[in-house]
Amino acid sequence: MTQGTYVDKEFQRDTTYIEDRITSDGTGEWPVEPGRYRLVVSRACPWANRTIIVRRLLGLEDVISMGVTGPTHDADSWTFDLDEGHLDPVLGIPRIKDAYLARFPDYSRGITVPALVDVPSGEVVTNNFPQITLDLSTQWREYQREGAPDLWPEDLREEMEAVNERVYTEINNGVYRCGFSGDQAAYEAAYDRLWTAMDWLEERLSTRRYLMGDHITEADVRLFTTLARFDAVYHGHFKVNRSKLSEMPVLWAYARDLFTTPGFGDTTDFTHIKSHYYEVHLDINPTGIVPAGPDYSNWLEPHGRERLGGSPFGNGTAPGAPSEGERVPAEHNPLLDESGMVRTR
């Protein structure tokens, strides 16, 4: 659910989250404990999609269970309408709001995903999505799969924090700033900011395979979820239409490189993505009509990024196929094979 306010007609996202953390040192209220927590996501939401990707790359599926809401929500909450009886099978609740209220009976802020829930108590622990993925990398190391990549390498953290900040401010949130602008002037200012940053990325990625160099990091995860939605939603729905992603040679090749890497394209649900934006944002799309396009087959065109060197996982290995219960339905992403992985041409 997109929460925000307006200052001089400019959309400003509400970034006040529950800041509790699940930590490995045993000093906090929420200790790392396999099986204790449930990650609640929507495949439509780019912020939640980050956590799905990181959890899969690190091999934490058997350690932290995952509940998936439907792609749409009302003004009240995301709901578990994909599950039998419209109840989450582990938490036994029909909406994620119930986990928020279990802990904070008077909770009045946005009911957002992703959210980590303490299964024994049914209480939400945190919805602080930037911190959730960083903690999956740093606090859950003991339980990561053999060959898991280091998505938050210590020697790159200072530079990566600066890159992440610009990507978040100007691109991840920049598309929303365009789409939810309150007037023409605010829209045009947001549009200019977005495309200045997109051009910066086009230049940065022309000489390096990934945002931070030779291997995938958290920075690539954060950028990918916006790029995956760009042509299908943001280009038209949010009016960021200077060009399509598929018309930007470097960024488009970079996006395809990631899409065909295990953990990225196989977690992308195009049907849920389009359903969410076009059916929920009725102030922008009053008819609620969901576009039939675009054609996704171009995601499988050769990207040629290997010429820059590097490798996705460095000294690590790729994750295997997703478990049957966590596969994106093939009809929601026609580029997946019967195992739930991105097809090869």
Angstrom CA distances, 110 to 61, 78, 95, 126, 169, stand at 27, 11, 13, 12, 20
Average pLDDT over every residue of 84-106: 98
Residue 1 has pLDDT above 60, yes or no: no
The per-residue b/e assignment along 67-78, b for 16 or more CB within 10 angstroms, e otherwise, is bbbbbbbeeebb
pLDDT tens string 129-150: 999 999 999 999 999 999 999 9
For the annotated binding site for glutathione, the residues are 78
Q: What pLDDT score does 333 carry?
A: 98
Select from 3.40.1360.10, 1.20.1050.10, 3.40.50.261, 3.30.43.10 the CATH code of 154-332: 1.20.1050.10
Domains 4-143 and 154-332 belong to one CATH topology: no
Residue 226 has pLDDT above 90, yes or no: yes
Domain residue ranges in the chain:
4-143, 154-332
Query: Which residue among the candidates 37, 176, 191, 277 is catalytic per the annotation?
Result: 176
Specify the higher pLDDT residue, 1 or 49: 49
205-214 pLDDT per residue, tens = 999 999 999 9
The pTM assigned to this predicted structure is 0.96
Q: Which of 146, 249, 154 is nearest to 199 (CA)?
A: 249
Active site residue 45: yes
Q: What is the mean pLDDT of residues 30-35?
A: 98
Is 3.30.70.260 the CATH number for 4-143? no
Of the candidates 45, 100, 191, 278, the residue annotated as catalytic is 45
Q: Extract the annotated binding site.
A: 78
What integer is the mean pLDDT of 261-286?
Answer: 97
Q: Give the separation between CA 261 and CA 220, rounded to whole angstroms.
A: 12
- DSSP-assigned beta bridge partners for residue 95: 79
pLDDT digits (tens, 9 = 90+) for 167-210: 999 999 999 999 999 999 999 999 999 999 999 999 999 999 99
Place of tokens 């994750």: 319
| Percent of the chain whose pLDDT exceeds 70 | 97
Task: Tell me, rounded to whole angstroms, the distance of Cα 152 from its chain centroid.
Answer: 17
Question: What gap in Å lies between CA 185 and CA 35, rounded to an integer?
Answer: 50
| Contacts of residue 296, Cβ cutoff 8 Å, sequence gap at least 6 | 270, 333, 334, 335
